[in-house]
Structure 1
Amino acid sequence: MADSPHSDPKTPLARRGLMFILSSPSGAGKTTIARKLLADVDGIGMSVSVTTRAMRPGEVDGRDYHFVDQPTFDRMVADGEFLEWATVFGNSYGTPKAQIKAGLKAGDDFLFDIDWQGTQQLYQRMETDVVRVFLLPPSIQELEHRLRSRATDSEDVIQGRMDRARFEISHWDGYDYVVINDDIDSCFSKVLTILKAERMKRARQTGLVDFTRELMR
């Protein structure tokens, strides 16, 4: 990953990092957009969640997820080690608190690929550090077409995902930004514009006070 914006010589002001959340129903494109952000944008890294689900082929512990068993996860919940956690499709997922708080203070940005429940928990705990973006499909018919075109799920699984998609879409108004993903390049451009604008917010420019005082001398 390239250097973070707070260490960029073209950016003289210190900046507090942000938590950039992408949510969408399955098939609406958040994974694709997230990958493009990580590949094309400097200074943002994926938040690595803790999970109880089994490791899939090609995944690496500590890079893709921190894999733990359920008793360990439950202990971490009891000890208050998560900013947010939820159980989805029978598996538990959580965001480690210490790692995120240290990174934000250092000026690092974190990308989150989580659902509306996790988003709500993060916002309640870290309100001013959170940017919430929800991606919508152009139509419910297109969403179902995308799920079926994967040819990896049974009919029951597809119907379950469609039911959950409608439920997740009902929470669209809990986000700061809503983007319709009818074209992947256009959608990415809009999401990138949001990220750039949020990085420049006055409240995140922690070096502005000293900088402006120096200008007024």
Structure 2
Amino acid sequence: MTHHALLLSAPGPKTNWAGMPTYNTIIAVTAGAGLLLVVALGYQLLKPGRTITPDGWALAFGAIGFVLVVAGLHMVLTWPLAGGGFPQNNIAFGEPAVLFGVLLLAAALYLWKRGADINSANRVVHTARVTAPVSLLVFGVGLACLGIAAAGWKYTLFAAPPQEPVAGKFARWPWLETSFVSAAYLLVGVGAVLFPFMLRRPRGRAAQVIGVAWGLSGLAFFLFGALAYFTHIGLIMNTK
């Protein structure tokens, strides 16, 4: 059982939630949506003759990127979860959120300013060339996500306390939720690490692996975050 679970499993637990703002609900939903949209845009780019409306994608990426950067930066700069006994979650959720958010904002800016390029005859090759420099950062994000996944499994970081509705039912098996969240990070990491190599052959097998990895992880984070709106509110009500 993690320090988080131990903290909240004592008789009559009380938690200072006012001094410990938590953003992994909105971060999970928006990050999941962002991953799913990246996969969807990549699929459309690779479909010959498919017309893409860049303004719509710019709006979507910009909105998601803004939320991730704002919420993630607050976690990175203030470490709000440190006071509750699990500062590691500031790293595990806040820093990837900032990195992914910045990447989405960059994509939104490009689509807004140069969106017509993604409907050109050689759009796949052109997009690969434009994306090549930033792929180094994507690769680094992938390595970070692999590290978070490994730390999650080793230290059982993401186990829910027994006071949390739904997930708390499995508190006696802390590896269960830990494995779910760590597996999602693992899939994000695998896709991101493959990303620079995929740009050499955008229609190759690596693109398919990335699509599956980011699609599954995006769906996992999206649904996990949506469910967390209920479970985290319930946790607060049970421990305030």
TM norm structure 1: 0.31
TM norm structure 2: 0.28
More strand per residue: 1 or 2? 1
More helix per residue: 1 or 2? 2
